[in-house]
Amino acid sequence: YIFVSVFLGNIKSAFDKNPKLANLLLDNFFRDAVQRCQASWRTVVATGAQLGIPTPAFSTALAFYDGYRSEQLPANLIQAQRDYFGAHTYELLNSPGKYVHTNWTGHGGNVSASTYQA
């Protein structure tokens, strides 16, 4: 119970400092605490995977953490797959707002879209 009350106190303190805090990872205390523990966290997830021990909460939280702090993610692969199978188009990183379709197979017709946003 002591751990819970201290932890809740840290959460309260973060929101007292910034009532509009969107995520605890944006608070200095929590950002630094997670950063300090990151190597051990990754070791737990990797060891669990190597031994065939499921760690769904740890691994999902780690995936969220990695995604949350990344400006760009490899979602471009998913966008390419969607474009290949359904001509959904994708946005060019070097031309924000420009959506294009690639004729990946060389067969079939071409499509274009300038306002479609997935």
pLDDT for 21 equals 96
Does residue 101 contact residue 79 with C-beta atoms inside 8 Å? no
pLDDT for 39 equals 97
pLDDT for 3 equals 61
pLDDT for 112 equals 54
DSSP 29-93: HHHHHHHHHHHHHHHHHHHHHHHT---HHHHHHHHHHHHHT-SS-TTHHHHHHHHHHH---EE-T
Structural domains in the chain, sorted by start: 2-68 (no CATH), 73-118 (1.20.5.320)
pLDDT for 23 equals 94
pLDDT in 10s for each residue of the chain, 118 residues: 566 688 899 999 999 999 999 999 999 999 999 999 999 999 999 999 999 999 999 999 999 999 888 777 777 778 888 888 887 888 888 888 888 888 887 765 555 555 555 5
Host H or E run for residue 5: helix 2-17
